[in-house]
């Protein structure tokens, strides 16, 4: 493909200049030469991959490169297919779902996830007629596109059996849980009582990995409240040293403050905590309630609504949201996980004396609007 034509049709001046400078520097006259540079192992690979995407060659060009022998080219070619323009190339993208390279598979999965429900007939057909890895990959794509509601009854039963097997296998696993968002810790061993008080229905057994993946998937969803992704389902653990943890938003759209929720839960169960951590901006929070009363509430981003005396675990520690001149910079900051480890249980390392297993349960929003989409590890 002639490079000059690709440059001339670029509308973003900054991107056009960036691409033109790279092409001139390396005396590139054809798109194939960019692809060749992408297959190297020197410092020019990264800018070559960027220009490969910036130029927006014809869809047929990228579709042909989905079969390129180098995985880096396949990855970037697959990344060019999103939304409505990807749907006509769904069959070309299918083999990439079982590619030997993880990143190729991931980009293909993202491509299918962006296509919408119109691609579901192809995936159901593949699930019914293909064999081996492609048949399994089609199930992953189905869930990525439309969530577990898109699975057939037979596939649902198969997944349920596999999850129960993995629950037994992971009983003594120590995989670290990625914490980003808020969770409740309730002093009870009665999971069913937690489900009832929180108004949660249709509990489905899950492994610790699957439960954590669902929580992180939903919390990081791009959609707003209108999409009902963050408020559709909740991960409720088994009993862990006398505590049951609830990850997510059990009450619609988190309209009630956590202080009120903790107070209500503690009136029922005697003690209830809320903890919050962020993987991106340094946010941390904790709320401790006993017998219907909040005894401590701290949020490093909300100074106006803090209450109660510092907990014993806070003594000798710095508060992350304290920017006053009086703060002792020699003190280590305390985080929600530190408080949780002392006051209840720290889910970062979900291990120890655990009774039963976790479940994913639907809120009223989940029962009304369906389960969130997205492929999750088991």
State the pLDDT at residue 378: 82
State the pLDDT at residue 358: 93
State the pLDDT at residue 71: 97
Give the CA distances from residue 24 to residues 3, 14, 17, 193, 316, in Å, rounded to whole numbers and listed in that order.
11, 15, 10, 68, 60
State the pLDDT at residue 97: 96
Which residues, given as ranges, of the chain have pLDDT below 70? Answer: 1, 172-174, 222-226, 253-254, 325, 351-353
Integer-rounded Cα Rg, in Å, for the chain is 25
Q: 69 burial class (0-12, 13-18, 19+ CB within 10 angstroms)?
A: exposed
Kindly provide the b/e burial profile for residues 141-163, where b requires at least 16 CB atoms within 10 angstroms of the residue's own CB.
Answer: bbbbbbbbebbeeeeeeebeeeb
State the pLDDT at residue 222: 67
Tokens, residue 110: 């993202």
How many Å apart are CA 293 and CA 112, to the nearest integer?
Answer: 48
State the pLDDT at residue 167: 86
DSSP state of 176: P
State the pLDDT at residue 168: 81
Q: 117 burial class (0-12, 13-18, 19+ CB within 10 angstroms)?
A: exposed
Q: What does 160-174 look like in DSSP terms, one character per residue?
A: HHHHHHHHHHTTT--
CA 7: distance to chain centroid? 37
Does the model's pTM come out above 0.95? no
Helix H segments across the chain?
3-8, 13-25, 31-38, 45-54, 59-65, 71-78, 90-93, 102-113, 120-129, 132-146, 153-169, 191-197, 208-219, 258-269, 336-343, 364-369
State the pLDDT at residue 176: 83
State the pLDDT at residue 224: 59
CB 285, CB 300: distance < 8 Å: yes
């Amino acid at each position: 493909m002639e490079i000059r034509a690709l440059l001339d049709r670029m509308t973003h001046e900054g991107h056009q200049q960036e691409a033109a400078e790279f092409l001139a520097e390396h005396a590139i006259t054809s798109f194939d030469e960019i692809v060749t540079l992408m297959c190297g192992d020197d410092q020019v690979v990264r800018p070559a991959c960027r220009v490969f995407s910036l130029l927006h060659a014809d869809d047929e060009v990228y579709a042909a490169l989905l079969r390129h022998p180098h995985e880096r080219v396949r990855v970037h070619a697959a990344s060019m297919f999103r939304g409505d323009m990807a749907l006509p190339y769904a069959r070309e993208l299918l083999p990439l779902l079982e590619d030997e390279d993880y990143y190729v598979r991931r980009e293909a999965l993202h491509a299918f996830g962006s296509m919408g429900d119109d691609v579901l007939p192809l995936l159901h057909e593949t699930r019914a007629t293909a064999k081996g890895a492609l048949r399994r990959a089609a199930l992953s794509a189905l869930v990525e596109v439309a969530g577990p509601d898109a699975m057939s009854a037979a596939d649902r039963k198969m997944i349920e059996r596999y999850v129960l097997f993995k629950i037994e296998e992971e009983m003594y696993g120590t995989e670290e849980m990625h914490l980003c968002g808020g969770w409740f810790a309730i002093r009870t061993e009665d999971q069913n009582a937690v489900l009832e008080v929180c108004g949660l229905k249709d509990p489905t057994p899950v492994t610790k990995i699957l439960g954590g993946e669902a929580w992180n998937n939903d919390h990081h969803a791009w959609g707003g409240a209108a999409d009902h992704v963050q408020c559709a389902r909740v991960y409720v653990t088994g009993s862990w040293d006398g505590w049951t943890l609830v990850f997510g938003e059990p009450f619609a759209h988190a309209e009630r403050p956590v202080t009120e929720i903790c107070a209500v839960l503690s009136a029922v169960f005697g003690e209830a905590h809320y903890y919050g951590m962020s993987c991106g901006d340094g946010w941390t929070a904790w709320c401790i309630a006993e017998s219907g009363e909040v005894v401590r509430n701290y949020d490093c981003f909300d100074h106006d609504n803090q209450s109660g005396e510092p907990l014993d675990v806070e003594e000798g520690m710095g508060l992350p949201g304290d920017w006053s001149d009086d703060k002792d910079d020699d003190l280590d900051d305390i985080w929600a996980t530190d408080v949780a480890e002392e006051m209840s249980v720290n889910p970062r390392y979900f291990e120890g004396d655990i009774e039963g297993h976790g479940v994913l349960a639907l809120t009223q929003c989940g029962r009304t609007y369906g389960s969130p989409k997205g492929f999750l590890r088991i």
